[in-house]
Structures are given as C-alpha cells and as structure tokens.
C-alpha cells in the first residue's frame, strides 16, 4: 500500500496535496506496490476528505481529533505516527510544504523509518529498490537516492515536480473512513497562535507580464540602478532571489521563490541568479525564461529558453541599448 | 542561557562539485568548503540572544577533520567553545546519522536552546534540526523569523507559506531552525581570529554512523528545456537576444 498524505488549513485543501496524490499514484504504477490510500489529518476534515475521494484511491482516511484543530508539530507527529504504525505503507508520500518540513522529520525519527525529502522524480530502480531523484549541491547535481532498508519509507515531493492535473480520478468516489487520532492534548508542547499576514503586499508580481529578476551576481546594491534601467526599457517589474532581499537591497515583497511569490509572466529575465531550487520553484512556470550569468554551469541555464554566458555588467547596458533601438 | 548552534561545513557556493569515481559523492580533495550560510544566521541569532540574556554560545558540528575549520570560523565570530563530532563517514551521511551523532555529543550538556540553520547547501535534507529535537526529547519549531525568550519559555515567529506567519510558544529547552536573513551577519575580526586560537574544540568520536538512505548515482540535472545559448561579444549577444525575444518568443513588442 502506498499512502499519500494530504494537507489542509481550516478546511481548505492545500493544492500541493494533489501533487502528493499524483506522485503516490505514479509510484504505485512503477512499483506495483499499490493500492493507493490517501490520509488527511485535522480537527474536522470531512470536506477535504470528500474532495480527495474523487481521486482514484482505495480509501481516504480522515484522521481527526479536536487537538488537531490547530497545527502543531507534536500533535501531527503523534496522530500520523499512530496511523502509520498501525498499518505501515510501503511508502508514504507528502508534499514538501513548510508544514511537512516542520513535523515529518520528527515523524520519521519517531517511527525509525527513512525520509527522502524534496524529491523531483523517480530514477531507475537500484538493486530492486525504488530510487528517488532529488537535487543536491544547490541544484548543481541530481542524485538518485535509495533507502538502506526494505521497510516503510517516507518521501516528500517538491512543489511543481508532479503535476496535480495528472491525478487519476476514480469512476466513483473512494470510501472515506473516519479514524479517531490518538493525540493526548497535554503532550502537545507547542502553543500556536492564529496565522496572520503582514501588511498587504503592495507589489503583486503574479500579475506582471514581464519580470527582471536579480540575484547574488549583482554584487553591490548600487549596481541595482542598472537593473532598474533594463526593467524600464522592457516595461518590466523588478524581482529578486532571496539573498538580495535578505541583504535588504530590495523589499521582501519583491522576492520570488519558495518563501516569496510564485510568478508566471510572459518573460522572466534572470540576472546573476544561479537558479537554486528555492528560487526555481517560484519562476519555472514563466513562459519565456532568459538567463544571464557568468557561470556556464549555473542551474538557471537548465530552466532557460535563452541564455547568455557573460558578465551582466557588460551585457545589461548593451541590452538596454538594443531595446532602445528596437522600440 | 546556554545556547548550542549546530552548523555544517559544505562545498563553497561558487564552485562546481566534481563527482567521484563511483558517482556517489563529490571528490572531496578537489572541493573547497565553507560554513553553510543558513547556519551562519543561526549562529548570529545565538549571539544576539547571548547579548540579551547572557550565557554562552557553543558551536557543534559533525563531520570529518576539515570541519574544524568551520568551527574555528564560528569561534572567531564570537562563539565561546566548540564540539566536533569527528568521523569521515559523516561527510556524506544522512540527516539521521548526523542528528544521532550530534545528539550523543550534546545531550549531557543540557542546553536551554539549540539552534540550526534551515537546511544545508549540500544535501539540503531540511531534517537534521527536527530529528535532533526528537532525539533530545525537546519541542521544536522551524523556519523561525523572530525569537523572544520569556523566562522558561520561548515565543517564536514561524514563517508559513504565501506571506503568512504565526507565533508559537513552547517551554525551554527547545530547538529552533532559523530562517536565513532574519539578522545581519557579523564576520570575524582580527581580534576574534586571534582569540579563537585559544578557545576549546572538544572532539567526540561518534558511535557507529548509520544512514538510512544513500546516494547511488550523482549526475547532471536533466534538462527540462532546450536552452539556446547566444554566443558572441556582449553587444552582439544582446542584439540577438532582443531579436529572438521579439520575433521567436514574442515576449516583447
């Protein structure tokens, strides 16, 4: 049995859940280790379970307890450990969300099972064991990873690596089974407060038709003027990778990537951005991607439609000039 | 307040790793290493908490002999002492093996707070801190933007996805994984470098290092797209790029 573990907040299913379901279905097809079951945990998850039941699955488990109403690492670890230990799957597949990152390593440690994180695909099996592909060394290399044991194994899949629209739908809804989670409220040490958003974002990069994004390659804050000039010539918004916002050179609201905004403009021009996974997940859906980087090995070139290997301080002024002429 | 900061030494960001003969790890002898940048933010957070609450900052790392250099760097930035769990097999070990090694070395010290970076720039498991918390039997929270110690409790601001945040409170001792960029990093001064030479690095030999997963093949990432690399001097390449963006991709008017 392969278990896909979905995620919800206040009854709303996290979209990445469908990617975990797709990944679990594909793993079952490759390994013959099906059927696929789906689990969803929370205070009251009937609505989420009902929509998950549309997927082609043997069963949807609604794992409920009042103590799971607000997410805590201790509560979710206890609930899932109980479910998984009772009926161990060959693999349990999660989406690599912030919540999963917060508790699933603890769950794996509690169960004593391996955990392969941030998987982007499946490799050729190795010595009869399924191999999981993940990016290492900042996306510069891909690694095929296998568990050291034949027992159950936990897997998390990277956002966007498995397409939600490839989820196989069932002919009729899968049965939903309600399971009372064994969670002792007094054993939960974290006291969570309600989630909140900071001041409304003034810049909505997701609506921009063109984006010029800048990364570490810009080296100095004063050089940002060059980027601004190019953005003006293109009629583009300015965005940045995390290090630029961390340094305070551009506001956080202009950050693209796993902890910033996700964008899919007509044109995404990446200047001096290496293309680490954390950035790539926020921009790889762009229609046309251009990379300008002096390092020919930079992973950004794997994503780009057009690339110039060169010094951005030489190329960008020439681009501004060329755009001026073409207008 | 007794604070442990766990850090890792990783291949330098601006170098391309070369793969070893068996294609299971990089050629260590060709690589240059540096302090894992996310861990530098955990270290700085440790310093700031020490400034506010007193106590000591102890840096801990599990890895081969080369790791002593990263610990020295942390001592030069201001850590009080260091613990080095030394074993060659820890270089490519998984998060469980590293967390086991760290847990065995630090549990006797009874730290009030254990800090780690968000994840490492080499294997990027994003697991070690959380597994370590489970091993130490202490509560944890991840991706932390702000830390407020209040008596025997700590209140932290967690980053959630899509611009959401959340405050979470828990009793000490606790483990936190620190989000990069939450503070301004300080670097070693000459005085710090000299002082670091006199600071203690306690060496610990781990019990058997047992990873639960291993890399069986390392390779170049698959191309998802056919990238057209535009060659030539900057001026020519720029002109050609504008032409293709306008005529082929129709991404500009």
Burial classification of residue A33, based on how many CB atoms lie within 10 Å of its CB (0-12 exposed, 13-18 middle, 19 or more buried): middle
User: Is A321 close to B238, i.e. CB distance below 8 A?
Assistant: yes
Just give the CATH number of A205-326. Answer: 3.40.50.1220
Q: A 236-255 residues with CB below 8 A of B?
A: 242-243, 245-247
Nearest residue of chain A to residue B211 (CA atoms) = A148
The share of chain A scoring above pLDDT 90, in percent, equals 81
Query: Within an 8 Å CB–CB cutoff, is residue A203 touching chain B?
Result: no
Residue A207 predicted with pLDDT over 90:
no
User: Is B95 close to A309, i.e. CB distance below 8 A?
Assistant: no
Averaged pLDDT, A92-120? 97
DSSP3 helix / strand / coil % (chain B, rounded to 5): 30, 30, 40
Say if CB A223 and CB A207 are below 8 A apart.
Answer: no
Averaged pLDDT, A260-282? 90
Q: What per-residue string of b and e applies to A15-28 under the rule 16 or more CB within 10 Å gives b?
A: ebbbbbbbbbbbbb
In chain B, how many H helices and how many E strands? 6, 13
| Banded model confidence at residue B137, pLDDT cuts 50, 70, 90 | very high
Per-residue pLDDT tens for A65-99? 999 999 999 999 999 999 999 999 999 999 999 99
May I ask the CATH architecture of the domain A2-187? 3-Layer(aba) Sandwich (3.40)
* Whole-angstrom Cα Rg for chain A: 22
Per-residue pLDDT tens for B188-231? 999 999 999 999 999 999 998 999 999 999 998 877 678 999 99
User: Is B230 close to A259, i.e. CB distance below 8 A?
Assistant: no
pLDDT at A197: 82
Contacts of B250 (CB under 8 A, 6+ apart): none
pLDDT at A34: 93
Indicate the domain borders of chain B: 2-204, 223-253
Say if CB A238 and CB A139 are below 8 A apart.
Answer: no
pLDDT at A252: 86
Per-residue pLDDT tens for B2-18? 999 999 999 998 888 99
Per-residue pLDDT tens for A118-140? 999 999 999 999 999 999 998 88
pLDDT at A64: 98
Residue A264 predicted with pLDDT over 90:
no
pLDDT at B226: 84
CATH superfamily of the domain spanning B2-204: HUPs (3.40.50.620)
pLDDT at A199: 64
Nearest residue of chain A to residue B122 (CA atoms) = A137
Tell me the chain A residues in contact with residue B13 when contact means C-beta distances shorter than 8 Å.
138, 274
Best of A259, A264, A278 to substitute, by most chain B Cβ atoms within 10 angstroms, is A259
Per-residue pLDDT tens for B19-58? 999 999 999 999 999 999 999 999 999 999 999 999 999 9
- CATH 3.40.50.620 region(s) of chain A? 2-187
- CATH 3.40.50.1220 region(s) of chain A? 205-326
Burial classification of residue B21, based on how many CB atoms lie within 10 Å of its CB (0-12 exposed, 13-18 middle, 19 or more buried): exposed
Averaged pLDDT, B46-72? 98
């Amino acid at each position: 049995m392969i278990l896909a573990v979905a995620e919800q907040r206040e009854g709303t299913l996290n979209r990445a859940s469908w990617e975990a379901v797709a990944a679990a279905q594909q793993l079952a097809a490759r390994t013959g280790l099906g059927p696929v079951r789906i689990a969803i945990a929370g205070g009251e998850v009937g609505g989420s379970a009902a929509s998950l039941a549309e997927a082609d699955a043997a069963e949807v488990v609604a794992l409920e307890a009042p103590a799971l109403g607000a997410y805590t690492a201790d509560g979710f670890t206890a609930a899932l450990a109980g479910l998984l230990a009772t009926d161990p799957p060959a693999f349990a597949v999660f989406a690599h969300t912030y919540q999963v990152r917060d508790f699933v390593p603890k769950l794996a440690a509690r169960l004593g099972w391996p955990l392969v994180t941030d998987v982007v695909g499946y490799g050729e099996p190795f010595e009869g064991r399924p191999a999981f592909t993940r990016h290492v060394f900042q996306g510069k290399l891909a690694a095929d990873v296998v568990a050291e044991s034949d027992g159950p194994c936990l897997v998390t899949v990277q956002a966007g690596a498995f397409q939600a629209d490839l989820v196989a739908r069932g002919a009729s809804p899968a049965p939903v089974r309600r399971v009372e989670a064994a969670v002792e409220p007094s054993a939960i040490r974290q006291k969570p407060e309600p989630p909140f958003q900071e001041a409304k974002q003034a810049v909505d990069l997701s609506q921009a038709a063109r984006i010029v994004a800048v990364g570490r390659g810009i080296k100095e804050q004063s050089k940002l003027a060059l980027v601004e000039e190019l953005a003006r010539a293109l009629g583009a918004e300015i965005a940045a990778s995390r290090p630029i916002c961390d340094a305070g050179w551009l506001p956080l609201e202009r950050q693209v990537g796993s902890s910033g905004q996700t964008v899919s403009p007509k044109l995404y021009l990446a200047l001096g951005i290496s293309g680490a996974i954390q950035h790539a997940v926020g921009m790889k859906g762009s229609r046309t991607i251009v990379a300008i980087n002096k390092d020919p090995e930079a992973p950004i070139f794997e994503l780009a439609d057009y690339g110039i290997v060169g010094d951005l301080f030489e190329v960008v002024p020439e681009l501004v000039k060329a755009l001026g002429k073409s207008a | 307040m007794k604070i442990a900061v766990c850090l890792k030494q990783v291949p330098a960001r601006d170098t391309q790793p070369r793969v070893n003969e068996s294609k299971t790890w990089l050629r260590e002898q060709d690589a240059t290493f540096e302090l894992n940048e996310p861990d530098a933010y955990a270290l700085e957070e440790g310093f700031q908490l020490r400034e506010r609450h007193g106590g000591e900052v102890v840096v801990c790392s599990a890895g081969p002999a080369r790791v002593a250099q990263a610990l020295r760097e942390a001592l030069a930035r201001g850590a009080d002492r260091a613990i080095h769990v030394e074993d060659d097999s820890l270089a490519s070990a998984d998060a469980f093996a590293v967390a086991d090694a760290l847990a065995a070395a630090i549990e006797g010290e009874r730290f009030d707070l254990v800090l780690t970076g968000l994840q490492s720039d080499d294997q990027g498991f994003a697991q070690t801190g959380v597994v370590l918390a489970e091993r130490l039997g202490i509560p944890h929270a991840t991706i932390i933007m702000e830390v407020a110690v209040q008596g025997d409790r700590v209140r932290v601001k967690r980053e959630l996805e899509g611009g959401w945040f959340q405050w979470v409170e828990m009793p000490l001792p606790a483990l936190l994984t620190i989000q990069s960029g939450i503070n301004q990093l300080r670097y070693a001064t000459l005085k710090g470098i000299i002082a670091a030479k006199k600071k203690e690095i306690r060496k610990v030999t781990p019990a058997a290092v047992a990873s639960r997963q291993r890399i069986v093949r390392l390779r170049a990432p698959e191309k998802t797209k056919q990238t057209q690399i535009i060659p030539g001097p900057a001026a020519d390449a720029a002109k050609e790029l504008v032409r293709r963006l306008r005529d082929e991709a129709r991404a500009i008017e």
